[in-house]
Structures are given as C-alpha cells and as structure tokens.
C-alpha cells in the first residue's frame, strides 16, 4: 500500500490486482482479493486521484 500512495502522490497510475501484493499492509495478509480492491480507491481519493471504471481505463489507454 505505501507504494500505491507514493505513486498517486507523484501523479502516477495504479491498478488493483491480487497478483501484485497479497498484503493490505506490513504483516497483514489480505483475507480475500476484494479487500485490496476496496482499500486502494480510498488511498487514491485521499491523494486526489480520480478512480476510473474499466471503460474509462480502456479509453485512456486507447484500447478496445
């Protein structure tokens, strides 16, 4: 999670995926994948980032 916050603060992009990190924070294992998906948007909103839907992300990346 600290790297997600750092990326947002520097204007970068993040995505949700259990394959990236099995932990919510140091020593706290995510009990199931949706927990990661619920936590990252709150980190992003605090950092002032806008959360994109899958359709928005496809448009941003210019993919169909």
Specify the pTM.
0.41
Would you kindly state where each structural domain of the chain is located, as residue ranges?
2-60
pLDDT tens per residue, range 42-55: 666 666 777 778 88
Q: Which residue did the predictor score with more confidence, 9 or 30?
A: 9
Rounded Cα gap, residues 18 and 16, in angstroms: 7
Backbone angle region of 31, left / alpha / beta, with phi > 0 → left and psi within -120 to 50 → alpha: alpha
Q: Using CB atoms within 10 A of its CB, is residue 40 exposed (0-12), middle (13-18) or buried (19+)? A: buried
Determine phi and psi for 63, rounding to 5 degrees: -125, 155
Rounded Cα gap, residues 15 and 22, in angstroms: 14
Averaged over 33-38, what is the pLDDT? 54
Q: How much is the pLDDT for 13? A: 75
């Amino acid at each position: 999670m600290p790297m997600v916050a750092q990326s947002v603060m520097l204007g970068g992009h993040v995505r949700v995926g259990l394959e990236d990190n099995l932990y919510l924070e140091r020593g706290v294992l995510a009990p199931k994948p949706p927990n990661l998906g619920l936590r990252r948007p709150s980190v992003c909103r605090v950092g002032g980032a806008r959360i994109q839907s899958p359709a928005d992300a496809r448009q941003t990346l210019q993919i169909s």
